[in-house]
Chain A
Amino acid sequence: MNAKQLGKRLFQIVLVAVGISFLTFLITYLAPGDPVRTMFAATGTMPSEELIQETRETMGLNRPLLVQYFDWLCGCLKGDFGTSYAYHKPVATLLMDRLWPTLKLSISSMFLMLLVAVPIGMAQATHKNSIVDYALRGVTFFGVSMPNFWVGLLLMLVFCVRLQLLPVASFGGDLKSLILPSVTLAFAMSAKYTRQVRTAILEELNQDYVTGARARGVKEWQILWLNVFPNSLLPLITMLGLSLGSLLGGTAVVEVIFSYPGMGSLAVAAITAYDYPLIQGYVLWISLIYMLVNLAVDISYNYVDPRMREKR
């Protein structure tokens, strides 16, 4: 990937981010919920009609949609993502506080997932169409079909309620409170990823160089780990980047179950409270993280696969 392509990709990311934020804005504009009434309802007061109008005026909610949007967009460029209705704090500060816990959760569950999925997928590929393959395929099939919130609750039931090994709520954010949320997230993900590892490894095993190496008497484990695995990294990294999307969506559910203080649980609370600036900030941030990670994945091709460097 050269400078020109990089520039093009960055431009695309900006375009999509503007598109997404406008869509979110449009929906909040058209939605039946009224943030001003919700705000007053939260404080427990019954406001008069004039007070509601006045508040709408000071919050700038009476202006046309496009004016509100461009105002918000210009603010974003300066790092000002608006002020949360519910917390009365800048959206950027709120999200920043929750960013690291969510990243920690995502990274640890991804790590766990790889630890499970790569060996299993490899075992399936090397024992293709044997009993091992079918049995493991059955297991992954059930893994894909289990709702992650149910898995989380069952784990909680077993480890927190029955065995009392781990805390029920993860307020602290220490290592212990990270275990169950990451296991839950890794569970469904590894089921999906195992299949992809199997396909990728099988594809490589059919290459001529494998037959050649076998003919020369190279040991099977050497072929597998030193030749086949490095060569199948490219599709595996791509899929890892793409699966981040469902991971970021999944964190919301898991964070809510385990009362984990991350961006997801903050967003769920914001959506329930019609806290529009916070929702818009969350959608924009998550989209940007997702797109930037996938850009980084594409850039990493240059290092993983030398052919990519020469081609362009």
Chain B
Amino acid sequence: MKFKSFVKKNKFFCLFAALAFLIILAAVFAPVITGGVDPAASVLKDALQAPSTAHIFGTDKLGRDIFTRVIYGARTSLAAAFSVVFIIFALGTVLGVLAGYFRGWVDTVIMRIADMMVSFPGMVFAMAIAGILGASIRNAVIAVALVSWTKYARLARSLVLKIRNRDYVAAAVVTGSKTPYILIRYMVPNVIPTLVITAATDIGGMMLELAGLSFLGFGAKAPNPEWGLMLNEGRPFIQSAPWMMIYPGAAIFVVVVVFNLLGDALRDVLDVRDE
């Protein structure tokens, strides 16, 4: 009964959550959906075929089925975007809470680094890092995370600053609560909701950044079906085989739209200030 009223009250959120869940299911059950076709299996005599009933999205220059590669590509994109968001969420929360609670030199060191990171264009730096470390999805994730954690740290810090002087925190200190206990019991729970909303709205953006890095050749490597990389591989064939770039791009677009909508809807569900 409770579930029903929740669905009724948050129609949009449930719709987008269901869509996002479908995308995740598609990624997990990629072999089932594609009927067991190998995304890396090249059949050279079938190269560069236009979309047809046999290959609904057509084939690429090596005769690989683009539909299969697009479905498998969801695995890479989702896994990479979720890892980036998880890393910056965890790192930002920990550093922000520490900075806000302890103040002093801890605060100064962490926030000066954060200040430095926001005062120059992050994606330019991420490009350089990912490229120099060597093209791989893991390095692209590291690069994007390295330039994106500061937003979370600043948010967490400001939230902690707001509550650290409340009476109940003072009461906890007076009654002999240990500092780690105060941090985990009082500080972190106050920070989490806002940061979860931020993280949810960031998933789509991170996906775009990662696909952009892969497109430039600083992310996923050749046989790996990754959407940005597939677009890059389709680029030289824009005249003869435009389907090579249309479908992977559409896949990025659809998935990013769904996750952006989900993030916005989640903000409406969790954020009571709007009411």
Interface residues of A (CB under 8 A from B): 12-13, 15-16, 19-20, 23-24, 27-28, 31-33, 141-142, 144-150, 153-154, 156-157, 161, 244-246, 248-250, 252-253, 256-257, 267-268, 271-272, 274, 276, 279, 282-283, 286-287, 290-291, 294
Extra contacts, 14 of them, besides A15-B116, A291-B120, A294-B119 (Cβ < 8 A), are A16-B120, A20-B116, A23-B125, A28-B132, A33-B132, A145-B204, A246-B121, A249-B123, A249-B126, A249-B127, A274-B132, A276-B132, A287-B125, A291-B119
Task: With A141-B260, A252-B124 as known contacts, state yes or no: A32 contacts B134, CB within 8 Å.
Answer: yes
Residues of B within 8 A of A271 (CB): 127-128, 131-132, 218
7 inter-chain pairs at a CB distance below 8 angstroms, sorted by A residue, are A20-B125, A31-B133, A145-B204, A153-B231, A157-B242, A161-B239, A267-B128
Task: With A153-B231, A274-B132 as known contacts, state yes or no: A146 contacts B127, CB within 8 Å.
Answer: no
- A246 to B260 Cα, complex, angstroms: 18
- A24 to B126 Cα, complex, angstroms: 10
Say what secondary structure dominates the interface of chain A.
Answer: helix
Minimal beta-carbon separation of A293 from chain B (angstroms): 11
Per-residue 0/1 for B206-224: is the Cβ within 8 Å of any A Cβ (1 yes, 0 no)?
Answer: 0010011001111000000
Task: Give the A-B pair count, Cβ closer than 8 A.
Answer: 139
Partner of A33, one of B127, B134, B246, B257: B134
Does B39 reach chain A (CB closer than 8 Å)? no
Does B249 reach chain A (CB closer than 8 Å)? yes
Interface residues of B (CB under 8 A from A): 115-116, 119-129, 131-134, 204, 208, 211-212, 215-218, 228, 231, 234-235, 238-239, 242, 245-246, 249, 252-253, 256-257, 260-261
| B232 to A, closest residue via Cβ | A149
CB distance A16 to B127 under 8 Å?
A: no
CB distance B238 to A27 under 8 Å?
A: no
CB distance A24 to B128 under 8 Å?
A: yes
Partner of A27, one of B115, B133, B218, B249: B133
- A148 to B249 Cα, complex, angstroms: 10
| B122 to A, closest residue via Cβ | A245
CB distance A149 to B218 under 8 Å?
A: no
Residues of B within 8 A of A248 (CB): 121, 124
Task: With A16-B120, A149-B228 as known contacts, state yes or no: A161 contacts B238, CB within 8 Å.
Answer: yes
| B259 to A, closest residue via Cβ | A145
Minimal beta-carbon separation of A168 from chain B (angstroms): 8
By Cβ-Cβ distance, the 3 closest A-B pairs, closest first, are: A249-B123, A271-B131, A150-B249
